[in-house]
Structures are given as C-alpha cells and as structure tokens.
C-alpha cells in the first residue's frame, strides 16, 4: 500500500473525504508556490497535486492558465517542479504531479518516474494520456513504485471506465463535468452518477474534481466520493490577493473551510 492509499484509508477511518489541493509549481513564484502549498497543508489539505506548467494546457480553464503563464514567464522548469515536489513532500502530505504527457515524454519517461520517486513524489495525474497509449509509462511507474491516476468523465462508457480503472494504481479521477477546469456555482449533476458507475469497476478510491470551490460543494461531493479535488479556487485566491502574504493567508483560510466541508461528521 502506498502513502497515497494510506492517506485515503486514514480519511475513511475518520469519516471524511480526502482533500486534495492543486497549485502549479512556480506560481506565484518558485518560493511562493512552496509557501502557499505548505500553508494549505497546514490548514487541512491532505494531499497535493503540484502542477507542471505547460504551454498548451488543454484541460485547464482561464484561471489556471493565468497561473501557468506566470510560472512559465518566471522560467519554471521540470527540474524546478521536482524540487517543489521535494519541498512539499517534506511536509508529510502525499505529493503528486499533475502533468500533460508532452513534458514527461520530453523529459524522458523512465527518467521522470525515477526522479519523481527520488524527490518523494507518490504519483502522477496525466489528464491527456490514455491507458491504451501508456505502455512505457505503466512500465516506468511500476518500476519506481509511482501511482498512476487516469481520468473518467460523465461521457465515459462502462467499457471505458473499466479500461481506465484497470490502468490506475492510485485513485480514479472523476471529472465532475465536461469541459475545462474552473470554479463553478454548482458541481456537475452527473458527478455522483459517474462515481457510482465507476465503483462497479474498481475498489480503488475515487476523487471528484473540476468545479469544486466551496465548503458546501466539498460537503456535497464528500457524501459520495472518497476524495475532493480543488484547484482553481486556490489559484484564484492567490491571483486576487493584493500581496504575497495575503495570498498565503487566503489559501490557508480556504483550505480550512474546505477541510471542514469534507468532514461528514460535521453535517447536520
């Protein structure tokens, strides 16, 4: 059992969903990202997705694209991402990388898996890589003990879910709605159905992302999912902050609210 599985098991034993927070490395700066993520963990985020900034982020909405642009303009590199992973892993929170496939392939598939493991990373989410094309990645992650996370969507058929679930080792990422990432006023109505359909194909944890931004939404999702993924809301808190210090305080406050929403025992 990996550190990621241990975290899900602990959350389950405490009758809550695992809170997973996302932030791109290098945003708002190299040190600023580490400081903000550390504050998020301290305020209740259980696991972290460190985004690897990429110039063509097909799944990302305007908010995350803005953050990624800032990171790239600041000169962030894959090596910097791995350094960020090491710093975040030192907090004790299971740390994954969220990356499109092209940067991993350019870095070197085996080399990336090895270097991530050496940095203390526990897994990688690859939103644009399909299991059918993931042979080299599956071999590399198996060799290094790195968890794989693939996505299912409301449009996924039973056969598709079965294929994805068979390739996953960490958790299944259930996208709550079709389209790009971004905070929304409500979580997609098909999210619960997607989670229930996915449970028919795997015993691994299922975490819901895309559109979750408030404690109320976290509470809604945690009623049926094992994990709640929040990204754009943390990025927006930093983008809107007047100072770096205010940004850190804002993400910590948001993390505390979301963590409270994930605790099923707090509901009335």
List the end-to-end C-alpha distance of the chain, in Å, as a whole number.
Answer: 34
Q: Is the bond preceding 28 in cis, omega lying within 30 degrees of 0? A: yes
- Who contacts 89 (Cβ-Cβ below 8 Å, separation ≥6)? 95, 119, 120, 121, 122
Q: DSSP class of residue 186? A: S
For residue 144, give both structure tokens: 């290094």
The CB density around residue 56, as the number of other CB atoms within 10 Å, is 9
Instruction: Return the SS3 of 118.
Output: helix
Give the residue numbers marked as catalytic. Answer: 49, 60
- Consecutive H or E run containing 140: helix 135-144
Alpha carbon 157 to chain centroid, angstroms: 23
- Distance set, CA 84 to CA 48, 127, 175 (Å): 11, 20, 26
DSSP 8-state assignment for residue 54: -
Give the bridge partners for 47, in sequence order: 20
């Amino acid at each position: 059992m990996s550190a990621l599985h241990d975290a899900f098991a602990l959350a389950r034993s405490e009758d809550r969903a695992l809170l997973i927070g996302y932030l791109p490395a290098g945003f708002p700066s190299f040190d600023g990202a580490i400081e903000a993520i550390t504050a998020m963990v301290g305020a209740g985020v259980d696991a972290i997705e460190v985004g690897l900034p990429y110039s063509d982020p097909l799944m990302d909405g305007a908010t995350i694209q803005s953050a990624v642009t800032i990171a790239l303009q600041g000169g962030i590199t894959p090596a910097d991402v791995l350094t960020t992973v090491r710093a975040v892993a030192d907090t004790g929170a299971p740390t994954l990388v969220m990356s499109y496939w092209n940067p991993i392939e350019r870095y070197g598939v085996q080399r990336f898996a090895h270097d991530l493991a050496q940095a203390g990373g526990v897994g990688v989410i690859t939103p644009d890589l399909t299991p059918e094309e993931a042979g080299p990645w599956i071999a590399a992650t198996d060799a290094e003990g790195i968890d794989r996370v693939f996505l299912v969507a409301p449009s996924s058929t039973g056969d598709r879910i079965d294929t994805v679930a068979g390739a996953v080792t960490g958790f299944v990422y259930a996208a709550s709605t079709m389209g790009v990432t971004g905070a929304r006023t409500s979580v997609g109505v098909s999210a619960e159905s997607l989670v229930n359909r996915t449970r028919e194909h795997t015993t691994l944890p299922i975490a819901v992302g895309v559109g979750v931004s408030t404690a109320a939404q976290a509470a809604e999702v945690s009623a049926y999912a094992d994990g709640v993924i929040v990204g754009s809301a943390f990025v927006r808190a930093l983008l809107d902050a007047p100072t770096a210090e205010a940004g850190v305080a804002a993400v910590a406050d948001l993390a505390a609210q979301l963590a409270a929403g994930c605790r099923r025992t707090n509901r009335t």
